[in-house]
Structure 1
Amino acid sequence: MAKRTIVTFVDDLNDEPADTTVSFGLDNQAYELDLTDKNAEELRDLIASYISAGRKVSAGRRSSGSAPKVAKPAFSGVDGAAVRAWAAGQGIEVSPRGRIKAEVIEKFRAAGN
């Protein structure tokens, strides 16, 4: 026996059959509303003054001035290989790769390195 599934979109505000899906974003959150043409037009009219005062940004781009922050190493200017070699000589266990614990770097510096 064949089975057919029919999906009907209804307006999120009034449960009438929806004509369109409106996508928008606010506070770094994307939203979608299924709306009748009338409600979609009302939404567009409500936010038109905000849209005209704003600026467009391309998808995936943050607004100006909010570039992603890149973490800086806690102890920049320290040679990781030198710290590892010193730690091995002191009997301090340090992984061969990856981040070196701050306390190990502090001890390395305190030893005059």
Structure 2
Amino acid sequence: MAKKTVVLLEDDIDGSEASETISFALDGSDYEIDLSEGHANELREALARFTNAGRKVAGGRGRPAARTKSSSHGGPDAKAVRLWAAENGIQVNTRGRIQADVVEKYEAAH
């Protein structure tokens, strides 16, 4: 016997039929919302000013697209950052968390 599963999306704003699920992130939290075509366009238009001025990230988790190797916590590879810092005369902790300004300089250089 064949089985058919149908998924119907409901607009999270007004309960009407939704046409898509939109994912977005803000302040470190990821969100998904089901929206009709009209509400989806409204959301995109509302965010356009900010998305046009912002930077795209790889993976959607706050990692700049230019990064290549990442550690398990989502940042660049600590060993690579420390090596780069040493080669560029930048002082960096030999253990533990790498200072944010050093990571920013590393990311800007890569």
Query: What TM-score do the two structures reach when normalised by structure 1?
Result: 0.51
**Cα deviation per residue 1:9-47 (whole Å; 9 max; x = unaligned)?**
100000001111111111122111100000000000000
Q: Distance in 2 between matches of 1:30 and 1:6?
A: 26
Q: Residue in 2 aligned with 1:62?
A: 63
Alignment map for 1:67-106 (pairs within 5 Å): 67=75, 72=95
Identity %: 41
Deviation (angstroms), 1:62: 2.7
In structure 2, the gaps of 5 or more residues are 67-73, 79-93, 97-110
Alignment map for 1:1-113 (pairs within 5 Å): 5-59=5-59, 60=61, 62-63=63-64, 67=75, 72=95
In structure 1, the gaps of 5 or more residues are 74-113
Query: What TM-score do the two structures reach when normalised by structure 2?
Result: 0.52
Work out the number of aligned pairs and report it.
Answer: 72
Q: Distance in 1 between matches of 2:2 and 2:75?
A: 53
Deviation (angstroms), 1:50: 0.5
